[in-house]
Amino acid sequence: MKTTPDDPARTRRRLISFVCAGVAFLVLAAIGIYGLVTGPNDAAPSPDEPPSPIRIDPDSLLPRLPVIAPSTDAEEFARDAAHALFTWDTASGFLPLDYTAVLLDVGDPTGNEQAGLASDLAAYLPSRDAWVDLREYSTSQHLTITDAYVPEQWAQAVEQARPGQLPVGATAITIEGTRHREGIWNDEPVTSEHPVAFTIFLACPPDDPPTGSRNKTGTPEAGAVPSCYLLRLSMLDQPLR
């Protein structure tokens, strides 16, 4: 059988095809190896996309005065009052009178003990001049309570009281704890701790109080929440035991 030799042009075309196929294979192999080495390419977020908004409650950034929640439980109310009495911050923008008002607002609704309570509070809080000095050091204070109890001496005080001298539901709670102060001195934070003890005199409504509380004239206030109220404070570190 007679064979015809290949056309030189056809041979060149085949050779070129084989070379191109080999080059393409090498390129694809190189890309695959590079992908295995570098791993997946996580696309960065587009600079045109706005960042996710972060919601900040402006009220949560504002300084707040202590709060004494209404309660008919003598110890619970006394603990809240004690924290309010010792919690203040000179950098808050408030003044001692603002903190005093928090406690006077839960004082004797008849007004009989308000003047005495205001005098007691003045002995616990810094004076206005002292407040200005403490503010230069961003001084703040709070209280940790270790114990709260009805002192045994309270029973003796009740026995010695004249008829009608104590309001209905009057009691006493002695608070023991630690006063903590923080501030800045020479650009360095400083702290101090001091044990404290004092007695809170208060009155709580009976278990089945009439509807509403009583105002200064003694008539019930419709819709008022029954709660204990402050009478007086002992001198600091001179509590009933």
Q: What is the pLDDT along the chain (241 residues), one digit of tens a residue?
A: 444 555 555 555 555 555 455 545 554 444 444 443 444 555 555 555 666 656 655 555 689 999 999 999 999 999 999 999 999 999 999 999 999 999 999 999 999 999 999 999 999 999 999 999 999 999 999 999 999 999 999 999 999 999 989 999 999 999 999 999 999 999 999 999 999 999 999 999 987 655 544 454 343 454 578 999 999 999 999 999 9
CA distance 115 to 108: 10
CA distance 1 to 7: 19
Fold category of 70-204 in CATH: Nuclear Transport Factor 2; Chain: A, (3.10.450)
20, amino acid identity: C
- What are the counts of helices (DSSP H) followed by strands (DSSP E) for the chain? 6, 7
Tokens coding 29: 């192999």
Q: Do the Cβ atoms of 209 and 144 come closer than 8 Å?
A: no
Give the residue ranges of DSSP H helices in the chain: 8-38, 74-86, 96-104, 114-124, 128-135, 153-160
User: Is the pTM higher than 0.85?
Assistant: no
Tokens coding 24: 């393409």
For the chain, the structural domain boundaries read 70-204
CA distance 218 to 114: 16
Q: Residue 91, SS3?
A: helix
